[in-house]
Structure 1
Amino acid sequence: MKGIIGKKIGMTSIFEANGKQTACTIIEAGPCVVSQVKSQSTDGYDAVQVAFGDKKEKHATKAEQNHFAKAQTSPKRYVKEFRNPDAAVAKALGETITCEIFAEGEVVDVVGTSKGKGFQGVVKRHGFSGVGEATHGQHDRQRAPGSVGGSSYPSRVFKGMRMAGQLGNERVKVKGLKVLKVFPEKNYILVSGSVPGHIGSIVLIQK
């Protein structure tokens, strides 16, 4: 697997060679530092630990400072492991990984944390259509969930019943996004479509 940590910059659209306009997301991918190399002999599996985003030394613990000192780099804010690393990622300790590990036309997966919507009702959370008409004494029942269980039997609400509750703020993976453009001088990658998270959120691009 090859991958990189990035930051969502925003969305735009570009025109492809055939004249088709395609919506895309701009991601600042790297540069990332290889902060640890794990092997089958020492750790039981092969992986590369990648770090992104500078962090002030006064905000890092002593353990973090020593960990990143081995890679001869300053403390980083975000750390991620990529198992069974690809040749483009399997670099030596302290080396840098840039957006150039991906080429235009490649298909990648993007992982991020979706926007938190707070406590929401069943219409927004599950797509319920509501009561519909407001006649026949419905009053304020248009967005109500309706019945959730019987009284005498089963005398409880079954697990998994679609009801109001917390929406968003969860890990989401979007698969099959195409790399449209790579800008090495700015560390930017343009991927087709949208990716989870707000502007400035951290995402993982992997293949």
Structure 2
Amino acid sequence: MSIGMIGKKVGMTQIFNNEGLSIPVTVLQIGHCTVTQIIQKPETTHTKIQIGYEYVKPNKITKAERGHFKSKNLPCFKHLKEYKTNDKDNIHIGKNLNVGELKVGNYIKVSGNSIGKGFSGYQKRHHFSRGPMSHGSKNHRQPGSIGAGTTPGRVFPGKRMAGQMGNKRISIKNLEIIEINQDNNTLAVKGSVPGKSGNLIQIYKN
């Protein structure tokens, strides 16, 4: 696997191809990302690459992080992410990674946090059917039975019930790159990407 990168989701729009068909795309702003650490263990065949994204003032991070960047003569970064790669020949500490590493037509995997929807009930969260809506019914949006009484005498873990909805780590594979703008360091991928505009996302080249 090649090195991944960090960026932010800009939003969604549409692009018209040569045949006049509308393609829904998500615009992502990727990098600049800087290689901050390279770890190669003799018992493994792959190399771990740590990259930093988004500059930050030194007083906004911990003392240990400041020492980590100072030892390598690098500026301070707000976000750090570690990737595995087999291509270690062209990598060195301090190298900048941007959309120039990608090409139109490549397929990437995008990971990010989905939009949080708060505490949600059974119908919204798990698409349960509702109860009767007739007069006298007291089971419109109630959960109903959640398990047997005597045996086993408890509720099994993982029972679908009301609770937190969204705000989970979601990965979407094989998103095709439709357009790349190196001036703004943005790219457009076909389809949707988890999260709302401004969310932090990670991409991996297939």
Same fold per superposition (TM over 0.5): yes
Counterpart mapping for 1:105-144 below 5 A: 105-131=105-131, 133-135=132-134, 137-139=136-138, 141-144=139-142
- Looking at structure 1, the residues matched to 70 and 129 of structure 2 have their Cα atoms a distance apart, in angstroms, of 57
Q: Give CA deviations for 1:152-187 in whole Å, capped at 9, x if unaligned.
A: 333222222111111111111111111111111101
Q: Give CA deviations for 1:72-109 in whole Å, capped at 9, x if unaligned.
A: 3211011111112446x952101100111111111111
Indicate how the Cα distance of structure 1 residues 18 and 71 shifts in structure 2: closer, same or farther if over 3 A, else same.
Answer: farther
Moved beyond 6 Å, runs of 4+: none
Aligned to 2:197: 199
Counterpart mapping for 1:21-60 below 5 A: 21-41=22-42, 46-60=47-61
Counterpart mapping for 1:1-207 below 5 A: 1-2=1-2, 3-41=4-42, 46-86=47-87, 90-131=90-131, 133-135=132-134, 137-139=136-138, 141-207=139-205
Asked if the contact 2:46–2:86 (Cα under 8 Å) also holds between the matched residues in 1, the reply is: no
Asked if the contact 2:36–2:93 (Cα under 8 Å) also holds between the matched residues in 1, the reply is: yes
Indicate how the Cα distance of structure 1 residues 203 and 163 shifts in structure 2: closer, same or farther if over 3 A, else same.
Answer: same
Asked if the contact 1:182–1:190 (Cα under 8 Å) also holds between the matched residues in 2, the reply is: yes
Question: What SS does the aligned partner of 1:40 have?
Answer: coil
> Match for 1:107: what amino acid?
Y
Deviation, 1:10, is: 1.0
Asked if the contact 1:120–1:165 (Cα under 8 Å) also holds between the matched residues in 2, the reply is: yes
- Looking at structure 2, the residues matched to 70 and 189 of structure 1 have their Cα atoms a distance apart, in angstroms, of 33
- Looking at structure 1, the residues matched to 42 and 67 of structure 2 have their Cα atoms a distance apart, in angstroms, of 23
The unaligned stretches of length 5 or more in structure 2 are: none
> Match for 2:163: what amino acid?
G
- Looking at structure 1, the residues matched to 57 and 86 of structure 2 have their Cα atoms a distance apart, in angstroms, of 29
Asked if the contact 1:38–1:45 (Cα under 8 Å) also holds between the matched residues in 2, the reply is: no
- Looking at structure 1, the residues matched to 156 and 58 of structure 2 have their Cα atoms a distance apart, in angstroms, of 50
The CA RMSD measured in Å over matched residues stands at 2.1
The unaligned stretches of length 5 or more in structure 1 are: none
> Match for 1:76: what amino acid?
F
Deviation, 1:28, is: 0.7
Indicate how the Cα distance of structure 1 residues 99 and 51 shifts in structure 2: closer, same or farther if over 3 A, else same.
Answer: same
Question: What SS does the aligned partner of 1:58 have?
Answer: helix
Question: What SS does the aligned partner of 1:105 have?
Answer: coil
- Number of residues paired by the alignment? 204
- Looking at structure 1, the residues matched to 76 and 177 of structure 2 have their Cα atoms a distance apart, in angstroms, of 30
Deviation, 1:42, is: 9.6
Indicate how the Cα distance of structure 1 residues 66 and 152 shifts in structure 2: closer, same or farther if over 3 A, else same.
Answer: closer
